[in-house]
A and B are shown apart, each in its own frame.
Chain A
Amino acid sequence: MRTIRFLLQKEFRQIFRNKIILAMIIVMPAIQLMILPLAADYEVKNINIAIVDNDRSTYSQRLISTITASGYFRLTGYNGSFKEAFQLMEQDDADLILEVPSGFEKNLIREDEQKMFIAVNAINGVKANLGGSYLSSIVKNFNKDIRLDLMPAKGVLQTPTIEIVSTNWFNNLLNYRVFMVPGILAILITMIGGFLSCLNIVKEKEVGTIEQINVTPIKKYNFILGKLIPFWVLGNVVFTIGLLISWLIYGIIPIGNIGVLYAFIAVYLLSVLGFGLLISTFCETQQQAMFIMFFFMMVFILLGGLFTSIDSMPMWAQAISKLNPVSYLISVMRMVILKGSSMKDILPHLGITFVFALVLNVLAVINYKKTS
């Protein structure tokens, strides 16, 4: 016990003396949580649209003003021919081209039917997808309005239509930030826990201090606990700062019990620290450790369900994400913060994370040799 106390004292002294690391621990979550959710917005705005109006009628004018008034589109071209408009797309000045055929108004009223052409620049997949569907729904609404205009005053719609009305549960306004902030916080905790614990031990190897420690009677588990505890505490501090920021800036208050959240974080940090520890036992230099950690972090983040839903990944990717601790944290964060899930709901996640923690730490301890 006495040894642990002195190891901890030493460890905290070193952390508090390293001003850059300390600043990173406090400032990194603050800045990232303040800026990233605002910038990394899934809603696509400012889609550049070029319109080829071959009709130049009241209706086509009305359609164009409906499109530009929606707020999603920016009219960057009003061209006489498709060829001209396509040039804009080639120069990346137009993401979409809408071609209004000649006789648009006439056919719509007389024949009750008219086809239009939308060309989408699919280089940016998300923008193409969303832009195309925004435009379709605007055109659809426009169509409905015209129907109403043209209909006899008190008539009923001749064609029966199915209208879908949806409500968003747990995030009524489909506010993107409410959904992203807990996810980003999850990544931050993983980075702080994983990187710091890993680099710290490798640094002792690189500088040679571990040599001096190894000839002392310090026990293996004492040394490892002395490394784990400080970063476990720091992880909790970062998590608390993150929660405060998401409350102060985004007004996100966890709907579920905050105790459940901390209980999960406690176990989760153990697994991430264990992972860092395991990596450190394989590395001789901080450079190696950094690269290996980056490799895993990229995989963890991209397959963690932060940016893309795990359910829509191919089967093999879903299988990998089952082994990804980050995906469990992101899911638990969203469950507890947005949905108000209780301990019972996250029990499977907690169990798996606990197994991760156990396996990773045991492997790390086995692999950490005092003699070679």
Chain B
Amino acid sequence: MDAVVVQDLIKIYGKDDVRAVDNVSFSVKPGELFGLIGPDGAGKTSIFRMLTTLLLPDGGSATVDGYDIVKDYKYIRNTVGYMPGRFSLYQDLTIEENLTFFATVFGTSIEENYHLIKDIYVQIERFKDRRAGKLSGGMKQKLALCCALIHKPTVLFLDEPTTGVDPVSRKEFWEMLKRLKQEGITIVVSTPYMDEATMCDRIALIQSGKILSIERPEVIVNAYADQLYAVKADHMYSLLKALNRFDHTINSYAYGEYAHASFRGPATEHEVVEFLTSQGLANIEMHRIAPTIEDCFIKLLKNS
């Protein structure tokens, strides 16, 4: 049985029928690290809030651990761990008090499940008498993860856990998630950072409440049919405009200091450079690259 099964889930906000979640279906296998990847406002948080019984769906159904999110919400609240996107622990209680409080609320104790949080907790343990409100962003994140884990949940929901966290802490955080996976905990995580997608076992790319694709990250990347090029010239803006004008361009967009572009069959690298030169661009640099998840996402967006 799958840990999370979502069937045609719908959430509508407001009077003008904004479909924040539009017929979303996916399932997560036990022990899987599943990522919901999409930009802000894609509907990730709404899905999380419905799965953690904080929000009632307007259509469709879903089960977590076999329990229905509407009928059996009481069971779900006992078994899942949820870490909201915004830090939601008591800022005026210390690290230890927060942890003890959430442990007792679930009828357990820190000692009982210490093995689960040990790796994370040791990093913040020396500040355990400090109030949560006085912690740095990274430490808050670790504390929130500890609190979500302290009752040994079967499914862990992490809503944008790495948003606003520095790159080093982000990396650390994903390492922690991998270790938790080995404990057999199913993890559903959302993030707006495409580069984090490769850390997941499977990802769902989501945009405007709709799922564009659900696959293993490498499959998504491999499915990118066209040859992608990184192009650079002395003038970025003119380069982008020129690429747009080129007859054989399938897709082109800015990507860091390069422009990424793909071209239809007949156009060779040589022809592209020639065209760009004819458009008055100089110092043209062009080479083949392997697509990233972000490239796939942009392509999917264009197709949909």
A209 and B74 alpha carbons, distance in the complex (Å):
19
A212 contacts B82, C-beta separation under 8 Å:
yes
State which of B52, B90, B97 has its C-beta within 8 Å of the C-beta of A209: B90
* Set of chain B residues within 8 Å of A213, measured between Cβ atoms: 105
A217 in contact with B53 (CB, 8 Å)? no
State which of A6, A207, A214, A371 has its C-beta within 8 Å of the C-beta of B91. A207
A217: chain B residues within 8 A (beta carbon): 74, 77-78, 105-107
- The answer to whether A212 touches B88, judged by C-beta atoms less than 8 angstroms apart, is yes
Interface residues of chain B: helix, strand, loop or mixed (majority):
loop
Q: A residues within 8 A CB of B97?
A: 10, 13
Report chain B residues within 8 Å CB of A17.
Answer: 92
In the complex, how many angstroms separate the beta carbon of B10 from the nearest chain A beta carbon? Answer: 16
Total count of chain A residues near the partner, CB < 8 A: 22
Least Cβ distance of A352 to chain B in Å?
37
Asked whether B101 lies within 8 Å of A208 as measured between CB atoms, the reply is no
Within 8 Å CB of B147, what residues of A? 212
Interface size class of B (residues with CB under 8 A): 20 to 34
Closest to A215 in B: B82
Once the chains are docked, how many angstroms separate the CA of A13 from the CA of B132? Answer: 14
* B37 interfacial contact with A, CB 8 Å: no
Q: Which residues of A contact B101 (CB under 8 A)?
A: 6, 10
Nearest B residue to A15, CB-CB: B92
Closest 7 CB pairs of A and B: A208-B88, A212-B88, A6-B104, A215-B82, A216-B105, A217-B78, A217-B77
Which positions 78-135 of chain B face chain A at CB distance < 8 Å?
A: 78, 80, 82, 84, 86-93, 97, 101-102, 104-107
**Candidates B54, B87, B92; contact of A215 at CB < 8 Å:** B54
Q: Determine how close the nearest CB of chain A comes to the CB of B173; give it in whole angstroms.
A: 19
B73 at the A/B interface (Cβ < 8 Å)?
yes
Which residue from A3, A10, A214, A218 sits with its C-beta under 8 Å from B93? A10
Is the CB–CB distance between B102 and A216 below 8 Å?
Answer: yes
Shortest Cβ gap from A13 to chain B (Å): 7
Among B52, B55, B89, B104, contact of A372 (Cβ-Cβ < 8 Å): B55
Q: Would you give the shortest CB distance from B124 to chain A, in whole angstroms? A: 18
* List of A residues within 8 angstroms of B301 by Cβ: none
- Please name 20 further chain A to chain B contacts, defined as beta carbons within 8 Å, in addition to the given A10-B97, A18-B92, sorted by A numbering: A6-B104, A10-B93, A13-B97, A14-B92, A208-B88, A209-B88, A212-B82, A212-B89, A214-B54, A214-B77, A215-B80, A216-B102, A216-B106, A217-B74, A217-B77, A217-B78, A217-B106, A371-B54, A371-B56, A371-B73
